[in-house]
Amino acid sequence: MWTGEIQFGSVKLPVKLYSAVKDKSIHFRILDAKKHEPVKQHMVDAASGTVVEYHDARRAVQVGKNRLVILDEDELESLEPESSREIEITRFVSPDAITHQWYDRPYYLGPNGDTGTYFALVQALRDQGKEGVARWVMRNKEYVGALRVEGDHLMLMTLRHADEVIPASSLPAPGGRDVSKRELEMAHQLVETMVDEFKPAAYRDEYRDRVLELVDAKAKGKVLRMPKAKAKKTPASLESVLEKSIAAASRGRKSA
């Protein structure tokens, strides 16, 4: 667990950082196809295929087409950020200024001693309806983040850096003919039958369960029954498909 100190103006608040998420993905290993043993991986000279040990590898930056400049140890060291415990808040903005496309990884912050100031900051952010823009160095890496209130607590959301997000406004809207008024009305009607509250717990990673079942069955030498894919019919006109969808949706509502 990492500890730091939020700083802005006269405010100093020592905090502890906790990951707000846990990775539950299934991790596979890469095996030799014949013996089913985990493979080793080496870095090799891409041209000759000769293995290069990690400590013999150099680091380089591309400075033009097919041009690299090699950096030496001292130069790489000079680039490292100065290690610090400070989480500097550089700015407060309204929450819409940072859309979730910038979000990378959420961390909960807990008080590290000064609980009074911790909940005063929660209150202040909530009263003002603001988020802080934060910069800090953690484990030798520089981060930008958003300091926000999540429930009753502080959250530090790491953000992607400028240029790493492709905004929708930089892309052309799809071409082609416009949709008709009738189609639009029907689509609205159809979508409205499906509007509900967001209940994240209603969704489960069933695929993860299925993969584990498959592993289990195979380990026991059994054969797992696989679901059959339903064949999709090619739709007729968009309007008639919408019509059928609305009819099906309202039947579903009545029987529910």
Partner 1 sequence: MPDTNENEVHEPTGGRPIWSGTVSFGLVSVPVNLFPANRSGKVALHMVTEEGTPLARRYYRPRDDKEIGSDDVVRGFEVKKGKFVVIEDDELERLAPERTRDIDLKQFVKADDIDAIYFERAYYLAPAGAGATKAYKLLARVMEDEQLAGIATFVMRAKEYLTAILAENGILRAETMRFADEVRSPAEIGLPKAMKAKPADVKRIVASMKRLTKESLDKRELVDRSAQRLEALAKKKAKSGADVVKVELPEEAQQGNVIDLMERLRESLKNAS
Site for partner 1 in 14-53 (CB under 8 A): 18-49, 52
* Sole residue written with tokens 């990673």: 205
- Measured from the CB atom, the residue of 204 and 254 that comes closer to partner 1 is 204
Which residue(s) pair with 155 in the sheet?
A: 108, 148
- Report in angstroms how near the CB of residue 94 gets to partner 1 at its nearest: 7
- Report in angstroms how near the CB of residue 71 gets to partner 1 at its nearest: 7
Q: Which residues contact 247 (CB under 8 A, 6 or more apart)?
A: none
Q: How many other CB atoms sit within 10 Å of the CB of residue 66?
A: 5
**Site track 118-157 with partner 1 (rule: CB under 8 A), x = hit:** -xxxxxxx-xx-x-xx-------xx-x---x-xxxx-x-x
Is 228 near partner 1 (CB under 8 A)? Answer: yes
Task: Give the orientation angle of helix 181-192 with respect to helix 238-255, to 10 degrees.
Answer: 20
- Report in angstroms how near the CB of residue 238 gets to partner 1 at its nearest: 6
Phi, psi (degrees; rounded to nearest 5) at 171: -110, 150
The H or E element containing residue 68 is: strand 67-71
- Measured from the CB atom, the residue of 230 and 254 that comes closer to partner 1 is 230
- Measured from the CB atom, the residue of 3 and 32 that comes closer to partner 1 is 32
Under a CB-based contact definition with an 8 Å cutoff, are residues 15 and 8 in contact? no
Is 248 near partner 1 (CB under 8 A)? Answer: yes
Residues in the interface with partner 1 (CB under 8 A) total 159
- Contacting partner 1 within 170-199 (CB under 8 A): 171-179, 183-184, 187-188, 190-191, 194-198
- Measured from the CB atom, the residue of 21 and 254 that comes closer to partner 1 is 21
Under a CB-based contact definition with an 8 Å cutoff, are residues 138 and 4 in contact? yes
Residue 145, CB half-sphere, CA atoms under 13 Å: how many? 28
Among the listed residues 55, 63, 254, 255, the single contact to partner 1 using CB under 8 A: 63
| CA 117 – CA 109 distance, rounded (Å) | 13
Among the listed residues 82, 169, 181, 255, the single contact to partner 1 using CB under 8 A: 169
- Contacting partner 1 within 78-97 (CB under 8 A): 78-79, 81, 89-94, 97
Is 61 near partner 1 (CB under 8 A)? Answer: yes
SS3 211: helix
Burial of 246 (0-12, 13-18, 19+ CB in 10 A): middle
Among the listed residues 3, 84, 113, 116, the single contact to partner 1 using CB under 8 A: 116
